[in-house]
């Protein structure tokens, strides 16, 4: 057997051994072996195995730890009897640094039990020096890499399942079933996660009827995106429901929610916009309090108008804030649509400075004012998606539509 001629010294002691021309299409194997003669034997066995790989060689655990992040091999062939390691410390160090690489250990004739223990400790396989045939070596490395890929696929599948379950729990907390009793109000809701997101953001809403037959509604948006923001949204939504059912409303409600927000938020930079409103039992009067949140759409028959309000401060800003009451009078059978900014803060095709905005949203809504609640929301969201740029859905959105069914 002839040793390949392409051999260059690696930093930290060791050599690069290339079989055939150098290319990136073959798996890279890092050999960690202090004995040059044993390293040569491994190289020659691989050359005769029929399994085409690129082989790099280092002489110590320390050199392997430095080389692994840079080389990112598909497999590590590790001698357990290295001078700078004792017992299984070499295996532990290499497993920690190996990342996605499979690890196959080499043991001496008298150390076969150590090989079995190494597999138990995390190695994919083991080989006993002096008992390795070329075909066996190639097959062992190939199968070790395949098993590692299978293990990673199982881990990824489990992680995806856990994320899905976490999202389902968060969704139940962010997007609850309206708690209504006897008032004749129609409620329709929609939620859309940002495009390409694996988890929910912090948009939330709730609808509750209290014992005095008032219907309370909240919609809010935690700035940022991710599990921490979603968890904060759940916390605030549940706190809002508990406070409303205990009789707290208006600015007093927002002040208590701000205290909860400041105690629970993951960072001092996190703020929340929110609108909380109260629909009186007369089915005409609407009282609302806004904390930095957008306006709303007012429906009256086949007409839709944008209800805009003065500026207000979000929860969690480092300034003293108050939230004055606004009052709307609804015509008979009229309704409201509340939304978060993910519905209208979207860029239009054809220029970076062109945005849909709330006025554009109102224009789209007027096309579908004649539809029932469910049909209206479906048509509105479809139009928003159709007229905005494909990459515009970078934020979550939540929408709540409410309409009185008739005066009692």
CATH tag for 175-404 (out of 3.40.50.720, 3.60.40.10, 3.30.1360.70, 3.30.70.20): 3.60.40.10
Domain boundary assignment for the chain = 7-155, 175-404
How many CA atoms are closer than 13 Å to the CA of 370, on its beta-carbon side?
1
SS3 state at 353 = coil
CATH for the stretch 7-155:
3.40.50.2300
Q: Is the dihedral angle over the CA atoms 225, 227, 229, 235 positive or is it negative?
A: positive
Q: The tokens 């930079």 sit on which residue? A: 269
**Which tens digits make up the pLDDT trace of 71-98?**
999 999 999 888 888 778 889 899 989 8
Distance in Å from the first CA to the final CA of the chain: 97
Give, in order, the Cα–Cα distances in Å from 408 to each of 169, 279, 313, 331, 333: 37, 14, 37, 14, 11
Q: What is the pLDDT of residue 12?
A: 41
Q: What is the pLDDT of residue 230?
A: 84
H/E element holding 261? Answer: helix 250-264
Q: Which of 159, 186, 248 is nearest to 372 (CA)?
A: 186
Do the beta carbons of residue 104 and residue 137 sit within 8 Å? no
In this structure, the strands spanning 335-339 and 397-404 are: antiparallel
Q: What is the pLDDT of residue 226?
A: 78
Q: Is 285 exposed, middle or buried (0-12, 13-18, 19+ CB in 10 A)?
A: middle
In order, the DSSP letters of 375-403 are HHHHHHHHHHHHHS-GGG--S-EEEEEEE
Q: What is the pLDDT of residue 109?
A: 62
E runs forming strands in 199-333: 201-209, 215-225, 272-279, 285-291, 296-300, 303-307, 326-329
For residue 297, what are the β-bridge partners?
Answer: 306, 337
Q: What is the pLDDT of residue 24?
A: 54
Do the beta carbons of residue 357 and residue 236 sit within 8 Å? no
Instruction: Tell me 347's DSSP state.
Output: B
d(CA 75, CA 141): 7
Q: How far is C-alpha 162 from the chain's CA centre?
A: 12
Instruction: Tell me 91's DSSP state.
Output: H
Q: What is the pLDDT of residue 289?
A: 97
Contacts of 208 (CB under 8 A, 6+ apart): 178, 179, 180, 215, 216, 217, 241, 244, 245
Do the beta carbons of residue 53 and residue 46 sit within 8 Å? yes
Q: Is 268 exposed, middle or buried (0-12, 13-18, 19+ CB in 10 A)?
A: exposed
Q: Please give, one letter per residue, the 3-state secondary structure of 137-173.
A: HHHHHHHHHHHHHHHHHHHHHHHHHHHHHHHHHHHHH
Q: What is the pLDDT of residue 352?
A: 64
Residue ranges, the chain, pLDDT below 70:
1-24, 109-110, 160, 163-175, 195-200, 351-353, 391-394, 406-408
**Which tens digits make up the pLDDT trace of 142-167?**
999 998 888 888 887 777 677 666 66
d(CA 321, CA 323): 7
């Amino acid at each position: 057997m002839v040793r390949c001629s392409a051999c260059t010294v690696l930093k930290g002691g060791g050599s690069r051994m290339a079989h055939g021309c150098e290319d990136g299409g073959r798996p890279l194997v890092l050999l960690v072996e202090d004995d040059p003669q044993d390293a040569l034997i491994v190289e020659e066995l691989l050359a005769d195995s029929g399994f085409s790989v690129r082989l790099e060689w280092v002489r110590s655990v320390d050199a392997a730890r430095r080389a692994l992040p840079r080389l990112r091999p598909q497999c590590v062939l590790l001698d357990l009897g290295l001078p700078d390691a004792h017992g299984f410390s070499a295996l532990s160090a290499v497993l920690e640094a190996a990342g996605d690489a499979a690890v196959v250990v080499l043991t001496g004739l008298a150390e076969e039990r150590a090989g079995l223990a190494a597999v138990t400790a995390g190695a994919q396989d083991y080989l006993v020096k002096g008992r390795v045939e070329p075909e066996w070596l190639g097959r062992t490395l190939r199968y070790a890499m395949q098993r590692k890929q299978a293990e990673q696929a199982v881990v990824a599948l489990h992680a995806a399942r856990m994320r899905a379950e976490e999202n389902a729990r968060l969704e139940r907390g962010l997007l609850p079933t309206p708690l209504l009793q006897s008032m004749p109000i129609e409620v329709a809701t929609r939620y859309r996660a940002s495009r390409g997101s694996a988890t929910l953001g912090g948009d939330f809403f709730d609808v509750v009827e209290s014992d005095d037959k008032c219907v309370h509604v909240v919609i809010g948006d935690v700035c940022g995106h991710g599990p921490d923001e979603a968890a904060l949204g759940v916390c605030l939504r549940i706190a809002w429901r508990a406070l409303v059912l205990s009789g707290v409303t208006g600015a007093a409600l927002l002040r208590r929610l701000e205290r909860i927000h400041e105690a629970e938020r993951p960072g001092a930079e996190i703020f929340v916009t929110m609108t909380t409103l109260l629909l009186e039992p007369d089915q005409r009067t609407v009282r609302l309090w806004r904390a930095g949140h957008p306006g709303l759409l007012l429906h009256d028959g086949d007409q839709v108008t944008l209800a805009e309000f003065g500026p207000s401060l979000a929860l969690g800003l480092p300034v003293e804030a108050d939230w004055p009451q606004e009052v709307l009078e609804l015509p008979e059978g009229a309704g409201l649509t509340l939304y978060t900014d993910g519905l209208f803060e979207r860029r239009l095709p054809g220029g970076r400075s062109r945005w849909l905005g709330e006025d554009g949203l109102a224009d789209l809504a007027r096309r579908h004012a004649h539809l029932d609640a469910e049909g209206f929301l479906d048509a509105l969201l479809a139009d928003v998606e159709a007229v905005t740029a494909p990459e515009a859905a970078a934020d979550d959105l939540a929408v709540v539509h409410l309409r009185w069914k008739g005066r009692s």
